[in-house]
């Protein structure tokens, strides 16, 4: 069963998804600001798409940082409690930057890799407590374990771990070196449950680099075919020709 992140469910062509999933099942995780918001969105989508599994992707307001991490306030971290008992995805990333460009994104990542958040232990304990009755995928960058721990990611066999492989951020030359790092260094030290590939469409900044052609998606699937893949993002796929969806249904 293929899995998809859905950052903007309101932009998804759910009628297309309903048509394409008549004889197959998929799972999607949709962004939500609260459990009430999630259940409202899920119920609305289910009326159109009864044959898909819809799970929660909790996010914060941009003022709070959007993603969760040890940089988040305890009050923000406590918002995870309302999702007990659900299947959820938690993005662990430093607070969203005010501006976006490729250069600034790399600087933001490097700077925050060496900052010490004050609430990392608090977030780790929160996630560990949730694992007692909540199915959690923790998602982050392909970074060393010590940075993951620093940002608030706990190590626990009840958790599932997803790491981003977003080749669209790289030009052909830098992608060559990124592939060497990802497959032969990173994946030799960390065994992921999932790898998310993309970007098929833009995310929260609305101007991130994305695949220009379907051949790039097929290339990345082939490169990582031995792993459980997740696709970013469903709303973009839903507004493209059906071939894009069919390509992701290789599993």
Considering the entire predicted model, what is its pTM? 0.95
Q: Tell whether omega for the bond before 233 is within 30 degrees of 0, i.e. cis.
A: yes
Name residues of the chain where pLDDT drops below 70.
100-102, 250-251
Note the pLDDT tens digit of each residue in 17-54.
999 999 999 999 999 999 999 999 999 999 999 999 99
Q: CA angle, corner 229, sides to 60 and 185, nearest 5?
A: 95
Q: Which pLDDT score, from 0 to 100, does residue 227 have?
A: 96
All domains of the chain, ordered by start, with CATH? 2-248 (3.20.20)
DSSP secondary structure of 218-244 = HHHHHHTTTS-EEEE-HHHHHTS-HHH
Asked whether the beta carbons of 84 and 126 are under 8 A apart, the reply is no
Q: Which among 206, 208, 207, 139 is positioned nearest to 167, based on CA atoms?
A: 208
Question: Rounded CA gap, 196 and 172, in Å?
Answer: 19
Other CB atoms within a 10 A radius of the CB of residue 237 amount to: 27
Report the run of H or E that residue 173 belongs to, with start and end: helix 172-180
Q: Tell whether omega for the bond before 226 is within 30 degrees of 0, i.e. cis.
A: no
């Amino acid at each position: 069963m293929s899995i998809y992140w859905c950052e903007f469910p309101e932009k998804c062509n759910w009628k297309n998804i309903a048509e394409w999933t008549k004889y197959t099942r998929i799972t999607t995780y949709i962004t939500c600001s609260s459990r009430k918001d999630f259940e409202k969105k899920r119920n609305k989508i289910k009326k159109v798409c009864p044959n898909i599994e819809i799970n929660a992707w909790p996010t914060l307001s941009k003022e709070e940082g959007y993603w969760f991490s040890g940089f988040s306030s305890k009050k923000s971290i406590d918002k995870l409690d309302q999702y007990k008992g659900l299947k959820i995805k938690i993005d662990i990333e430093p607070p969203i930057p005010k501006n976006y460009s490729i250069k600034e994104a790399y600087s933001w990542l490097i700077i925050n890799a060496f900052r010490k958040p004050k609430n990392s232990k608090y977030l780790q304990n929160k996630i560990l407590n949730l694992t007692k009755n909540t199915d959690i995928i923790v998602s982050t960058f392909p970074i060393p374990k010590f940075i993951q721990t620093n940002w608030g990611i706990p190590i626990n066999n009840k958790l599932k771990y997803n790491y981003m492989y977003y080749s669209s951020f790289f030009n052909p030359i830098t992608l060559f070196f990124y592939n060497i790092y990802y497959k032969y260094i990173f994946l030799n030290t960390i065994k992921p449950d999932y790898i998310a590939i993309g970007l098929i469409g833009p995310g929260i900044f609305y101007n991130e680099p994305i695949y220009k052609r379907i051949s790039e998606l097929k290339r990345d699937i082939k490169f990582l075919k031995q792993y459980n893949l997740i696709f970013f993002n469903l709303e973009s796929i839903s507004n493209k020709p059906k071939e894009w969806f069919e390509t992701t249904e290789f599993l």
